[in-house]
Amino acid sequence: MSHDPHPPRPLFERAIVRTAIFEALAKLDPRRMIRNPVMFAVEVGSAFTTVLFVHAVLTGHGDAPPAFILAVALWLWFTVLFANFAEAMAEGRGKAQADTLRKARQDVLARRLRRGVEATAHLADPARRSEALDEVVSSSLRVDDVVFVAAGEPIPADGEVIEGVASVDESAITGESAPVIRESGGDRSAVTGGTRVLSDWLIVRVSTNPGETFLDRMIAMVEGAKRKKTPNELALDILLAALTIIFLLATVTLLPFSRYAVTSSGHGAPVPLTILVALLVCLIPTTIGGLLSAIGIAGMDRMIQANVIATSGRAVEAAGDVDVLLLDKTGTITLGNRQATEFLPAPGVDERELADAAQLSSLADETPEGRSIVVLAKERHGLRGRELEPLGATFVPFTAQTRMSGVDVEGRQIRKGATDAIARFVEAHGGVFPAKVRGMVEDVAKLGATPLVVADGAHVLGVVQLKDIVKGGIRERFVELRRIGITTVMITGDNPLTAAAIAAEAGVDSFLAEATPEAKLAMIREYQQGGHLVAMTGDGTNDAPALAQADVAVAMNSGTQAAKEAGNMVDLDSNPTKLLSIVEIGKQMLMTRGALTTFSVANDLAKYFAIIPASFVGVYPALGALNVMGLRSPTTAVLSAVIFNALIIVALIPLALRGIRYRPAPAPALLRRNLLVFGLGGVVLPFPCIKLLDLALTALGVS
Amino acid sequence: MTADATTLLLLYLLALLALAAPLGAYLARVYRGEARVAQRVLGPVERLLYRLSGVRADEEMSWKKYAGCVLLFNLLGALLVYALQRLQAALPLNPAGLASVSPEVSFNTAVSFATNTNWQSYGGETTMSHLTQMLGLTVQNFVSAATGMAVLVAFVRGFTRRTTDGLGSFWVDLTRSTLYVLVPLSLVLALALVSQGVVQTFHGATAAHLVDPVTRAHHTFGEQALALGPVASQIAIKQLGTNGGGFFNVNAAHPFENPTALSNFLELLAILLIPAALCFTFGALVNDRRQGWAVLAAMLVIFIPLAVATTTFEQAGNPLLTGAGVDQVASALSSGGNLEGKEVRFGIAGSALWATATTAASNGSVNAMHDSFTPLGGLAPLALIQVGEVIFGGVGSGLYGMLVYAILAVFLAGLMVGRTPEYLGKKIEAYEMKMASLIILLPAAATLLGAAIACAVPQGVASLGNPGAHGFSEVLYAFSSGANNNGSAFAGLDVSGVFYTTAIGLCMLIGRYWVIVPALAIAGALAKKKLVPVGPGTLPTNTPLFVGLLVATVLVVGALTFIPALALGPIVEHLQLGAR
d(CA B466, CA B74): 36
Judge contact between A547 and A566, C-beta under 8 A: yes
Interface membership of A628 toward B (CB under 8 Å): no
pLDDT score at A408:
87
Which residues does chain B have within 8 Å of residue A264's beta carbon, measured at their own beta carbons? 467-468, 471-472
How would DSSP label each residue in A295-338?
Answer: HHHHHHHHHHHTTEEES-HHHHHHHHH--EEEEEIIIIIEEEEE
Of A590, A602, A667, the CB nearest to B536: A667
Judge contact between B251 and B371, C-beta under 8 A: no
Judge contact between A119 and A162, C-beta under 8 A: yes
Residues 6+ apart with CB under 8 A from B57: B47, B50, B169, B172
d(CA B174, CA A117): 79
CA distances for A279 relative to A143, A252, A479, angstroms: 57, 10, 49
Note whether A675 contacts B540, CB cutoff 8 Å.
no
Question: Is the pLDDT at B479 greater than 90, yes or no?
Answer: yes
Taking CA atoms, what residue in A is nearest to B571?
A623
Chain A nearest-CA distance from B309, in A, is 20
SS3 label, residue B476: helix
SS3 label, residue B502: helix
Q: How confident is the model at residue A3 (pLDDT cuts 50, 70, 90)?
A: very low
**End-to-end alpha carbon distance in chain A:** 61
Judge contact between B467 and A264, C-beta under 8 A: yes
Which residues does chain A have within 8 Å of residue B579's beta carbon, measured at their own beta carbons? 621-622
d(CA A487, CA A478): 8
Task: Read off the pLDDT of residues A431-490 as tens digits, 9 standing for 90 and up.
Answer: 888 888 888 888 888 777 888 899 988 889 999 998 888 877 888 888 888 888 888 999
Amino acid at the residue A430: G
Average pLDDT for A539-550: 82
Q: How confident is the model at residue A172 (pLDDT cuts 50, 70, 90)?
A: low
Query: Of the candidates A60, A559, A6, A688, which has an alpha carbon nearest to the alpha carbon of residue A306?
Result: A6
Burial class (CB in 10 A: 0-12, 13-18, 19+), B61: buried
Please tell me whether the interface predicted TM-score (ipTM) of this complex is above 0.85. Answer: yes
Note whether A530 contacts B533, CB cutoff 8 Å.
yes
Query: Of the candidates A84, A402, A35, A380, which has an alpha carbon nearest to the alpha carbon of residue A229?
Result: A35
d(CA A309, CA A151): 28
Least confident stretch, A167-176, A290-299, A634-643, B217-226: A167-176
Question: Is the pLDDT at B218 greater than 80, yes or no?
Answer: yes
d(CA B428, CA B412): 10
Interface membership of A688 toward B (CB under 8 Å): no
Q: How confident is the model at residue B121 (pLDDT cuts 50, 70, 90)?
A: confident
How would DSSP label each residue in B235-298?
Answer: HHHHHHTT----SSTTGGGSTTTS-SHHHHHHHHHHHHHHHHHHHHHHHHHTT-HHHHHHHHHH
Which residues does chain A have within 8 Å of residue B425's beta carbon, measured at their own beta carbons? 531
SS3 label, residue B328: coil
Interface membership of A187 toward B (CB under 8 Å): no
Judge contact between A541 and A562, C-beta under 8 A: yes
Question: Is the pLDDT at A107 greater than 80, yes or no?
Answer: no
Least confident stretch, A53-57, A211-215, B456-460: A211-215
Question: Number of CB pairs < 8 Å for A and B?
Answer: 215
Query: Of the candidates A405, A362, A387, A319, which has an alpha carbon nearest to the alpha carbon of residue A591?
Result: A319
Residues 6+ apart with CB under 8 A from B50: B56, B57, B171, B172, B175
d(CA A73, CA A642): 10
d(CA A44, CA A254): 19
d(CA A607, CA A239): 20
Contacts by A565-569 with C-beta closer than 8 Å and gap 24+? A566/A538, A567/A538, A568/A310, A568/A311, A568/A312, A568/A314, A568/A315, A569/A303, A569/A308, A569/A309, A569/A310, A569/A311, A569/A315
**End-to-end alpha carbon distance in chain B:** 25
d(CA A50, CA B308): 48
Taking CA atoms, what residue in B is nearest to A258?
B568
Least confident stretch, A606-615, A630-639, A640-649, B119-128: B119-128
SS3 label, residue A262: helix
Judge contact between B359 and B382, C-beta under 8 A: yes
d(CA A434, CA A451): 15
Instruction: Give yes or no: A573 in active site.
Output: no
Q: Could you give phi then psi for residue B553, rounded to 5 degrees?
A: -60, -50
Note whether A667 contacts B537, CB cutoff 8 Å.
yes
